[in-house]
Amino acid sequence: MINYGISEIEVDIDQCKISAGELSEALCEIELELKQGKTADLFALGNGLAEHSGLRQGSLSKAARGYHLAQSNVTHERRQLRVLKAAAKFSIEQVMIASVKLEISQWQYYEELWLGGDFQARRSVLEAIALIRQALVIFGGLVPRKASADLRTHLTTMEPLLVDKTVQPQVLNDDEYQEQLTRLTRHLLVFTLLSGIYPDEQTNPYLASWHELQLAVSGRCQSWYEASRKQALLHAPFWLNGAFS
């Protein structure tokens, strides 16, 4: 039992081996349980521990691992992202919470597969991160942009680090860029019209990066295409509700 902040938190270290028949899986985990105090202290302690290399949050319980081994499975199956079925009585806030929980669960599940040797699961981790970012766009009216700024920054920074550098990204040719120029120009006009209600420090970097790509394509400066596009994609959308496609 430790005191953290104004709270009492029980910390258990569990190092064991889960076995089912001839199959087994080593396990080493730290469990935190709030005995008295504030939930914020519990999360703060967990976040502090997560800063240490080798520690991460997990989504599979010991029981789930045991059931999996009992079915004679060594590797966990890939699972498709299920459609979120919110109850009719749910408020918008409850739908947002359920959505983020689903996306985090997907992230943690595939992160475990990836670290366990399934390198293809990396793509599903990236998909889960993209889903969280999209949820912040869809439900942006409920969460003040300032409150989610750190999260959005971390997600934006994380995505390029997880991209498989051995896989060459698809590169559009000049004709394909020219085909998208009209659409890009139209969207930039819309963004410019709507950006006045947002702070300049949010809108200017986003608009400037996409304008740079527009100028490169319209001027047929092919050597700038990919660099400009990648730079533009690093900026998160600034609008609060909805998404353009």
CB-neighbour burial class of residue 125 (10 A; exposed 0-12, middle 13-18, buried 19+): buried
Position 238 in a domain: no
> How far apart, in whole angstroms, are the C-alpha atoms of residue 35 and residue 8?
6
pLDDT band at residue 242 under the 50/70/90 scheme: very low
Specify the pLDDT at position 59.
66
**Are 97 and 159 contained in the same domain?**
yes
**Are 152 and 83 contained in the same domain?**
yes
Query: In this structure, are residues 38 and 5 in contact, taking their beta carbons and an 8 Å threshold?
Result: yes
**Are 79 and 162 contained in the same domain?**
yes
Instruction: Give yes or no for residue 197 having a pLDDT over 90.
Output: no
Range of the domain at 8: 1-57+64-70
Position 245 in a domain: no
Count of domains for the chain: 3
Position 113 in a domain: yes
Specify the pLDDT at position 245.
45
Position 140 in a domain: yes
Average pLDDT over residues 126-154: 82
**Are 212 and 185 contained in the same domain?**
yes
Instruction: Give yes or no for residue 66 having a pLDDT over 50.
Output: yes
Position 79 in a domain: yes
Query: How far from chain centre, in Å, is Cα 100?
Result: 10
Instruction: Give yes or no for residue 10 having a pLDDT over 90.
Output: yes
**Are 189 and 158 contained in the same domain?**
no
**Are 163 and 180 contained in the same domain?**
no
> How far apart, in whole angstroms, are the C-alpha atoms of residue 107 and residue 197?
34
Average pLDDT over residues 47-58: 76
Average pLDDT over residues 186-194: 77
Position 158 in a domain: yes
Position 240 in a domain: no
